[in-house]
Amino acid sequence: MFKFFKKYTMTEPGPPSDIKEAFSKFSADGKYMSAHQLERFLVLHQDEVECTFPDSEQIVHNVLQLRKQNLESNSNEDHGDGDGLSLDEFFHFLFHDDFNNPLKSQVHHDMNAPLSHYFIYTGHNSYLTGNQLSSDCSDVPIIKALQEGVRVIELDLWPNSTKDDIDVVHGRTLTAPVSLLQCLKSINEYAFRKSQFPVVITLEDHLTPDLQAKVAEMITQVFGETLYYPHTDSLAEFPSPESMKGRILISTKPPKEYLKSKQTKDDEKELPVGVSSSPDLMAGMDADDKNVSDQEEADLNASEYKSSQQGAPQYKRLITIHAGKPKGQIKDHLNVDGDVKRLSLSEQELEKTSESHGNDLVRFTQKNILRVYPKGTRITSTNYKPHIGWTYGAQMVAFNMQGHGKSLWYMQGMFRANGGCGYVKKPEFLLPKDPHDETFDPKRQLPVQKTLKVKIYMGSGWSVDFSQTHFDTFSPPDFYAKVCIVGVPADQTKKRTKVIADNWFPVWDEEFEFPLTVPELALLRIEVREHDKHERDDFGGQTCLPISELGIGFRSVPLYDQEGEKLKSVKLLMRFQFE
């Protein structure tokens, strides 16, 4: 059987009419755009108000050097005479995401407010390499998360098989453990490679007091002066990210709560609010939500407590963010008076609580920290929609970072904001205000605050990053783009371009309008797919962008693969405007 393959002609399109018009407007003679003229374009058209003449002069130099290198093999093409940028060079500047990204690469939020005023990039079961039941535990996913800017790492601590050391493992599952010491050493090495802002380690503690004392010793020895802990037993307010730069903080339950729970003779397990102890429900829960087993309770008998309580003060002293899970009425745990604390709720608990105590949740998160974690039935490490937490001010929306899919894209998109440092300042309406002011209600229909206009001109790079037969064996791909808003329910919408048939360089030249009621919490999701008449459309790249951070004007938008890794060459030329 013979197979015939076409040789594809790949001709990259020239600049669209909107870019030709802008070039003509801002260049004096219509032939070259000088550094002064480029500065004027960047300030007036792109709203880059901080751009200076030396900045634009450097851009011109870099673009000309880059174009010269790229065109050296083709002596017939003109790359300018050094007086400025030609139309073709101006077009390539706009299409280069290193020069013309839609998001700022620097930290620009106020970082001097308490930690409770920020959304924080948070991992769940950070040590798991795959599913929640049988995958290996390792420091590798911890390292990867830190390299991607995650600032909250979760470790589940259990006694090892000989009860004389500590394993990090997902308890009561078939996951293979990794040593706590190895995890701590990797955190210490990689904590501040991506961001200098603090790393919080949340500990799910299933240890005896003796082993708690050993954990305290390990943490102190590994982190040294990098470890921050308060000099008092409690805090009236959390420290700021700026004041905690380069520091590691511990968050867990204080030991006295642990000991007290073990000394009770009640057989009732510690369950999420409103959940009974029926076997069926217990089977579907995350192991983190259950109390210790009968055997563990036997191990922790009264005589052991008396001989080991000396370990508790050492361990408790290291805790900066005191944590707990609610028992009894949830409203009792949303009290905003007293010292600050962290409360953990499952995604289901949050949904239920938001129905009856939405205002209390928002008020709680103005001062305290709320952590939301995936329900226990997400065995394959899938994730939930993060907006369920963000709209109520939850700072730590904990995700399975190995659980690839749209929900993780949203999380990655949110934390591309503020220079990708892992901390995003919450909108003003979620921050403390006059006690008599009305709190934000995500369910209330609000008026349109602004309209985002998105124009998608064209795309390129697939012919470099993918083989000629990746999308279709016998012809060039048929690309289309999805353009969606993810946010509060009133703002969510989906639109798509037409299909451009048989072209590695699709030119759509289409514009969409999105009215937004809460733009501060909205994300722009863009996904390119290759249309297939007979099978599922092939994936061609995606990105999520925080709308509150979008730069206006023409922008080069890089795309990412399904796991969130940036594609080397694939990008879109787009324009963003607000009305």
Given the residues 79, 109, 170, 206, select the one marked as catalytic: 170
Ordered DSSP codes for 135-185:
SBB-SHHHHHHHHTT--EEEEEEEE-TTSSSEEE--TTSSPBPEEHHHHHH
At CA 411, angle to CA 508 and CA 290, rounded to 5?
150
Interacting residues of 319 by C-beta distance below 8 A, sequence separation 6+: 229, 250, 251, 252, 254
Structure tokens at 546: 């925080």
Helix (H) or strand (E) holding 332, with range, is: helix 330-333
Q: In whole angstroms, what is the distance from residue 455 CA to residue 107 CA?
A: 27
Among residues 480, 461, 476, which one has the least CA distance to residue 561?
461
* β-strands 493-496, 342-346 pairing: unpaired
The token duo for 315 is 């361990």
Alpha carbon 513 to chain centroid, angstroms: 26
Contact 56, 43 (CB under 8 A): no
CB atoms inside a 10 Å sphere around CB 428: 11
CA 124 to CA 204: how far, in whole Å? 11
Catalytic residue among 124, 206, 322, 387: 124
Instruction: For residue 435, count other CB atoms closer than 10 A to its CB.
Output: 7
Helices 255-263, 209-223: axis angle to 10 degrees equals 160
Closest CA relative to residue 440, chosen from 505, 363, 373: 363
Active site residue 170: yes
How many Cα neighbours within 13 Å face the side chain of 265? 1
Residue 546 CB partners (closer than 8 Å, separation 6+): 103, 413, 414, 416, 417, 424, 522, 523, 524
324 strand-pairing partners = 343
For 246-293, where are the alpha helices, taking DSSP H only?
255-263, 279-283
Alpha helix positions (H), 458-573: 462-465
Q: Closest by alpha carbon to 401, among 118, 104, 132, 103?
A: 132
Question: If we measure between CA atoms, which residue out of 218, 254, 222 comes closest to residue 235?
Answer: 254
Element (H, E) at 457: strand 450-460
d(CA 484, CA 216): 47
- Distances in Å between the Cα of 448 and the Cα atoms of 39, 203, 390, 485, 552 are 33, 42, 20, 14, 19
Distance from CA of residue 428 to its chain's centroid? 20
Q: Which residues are catalytic?
A: 124, 170
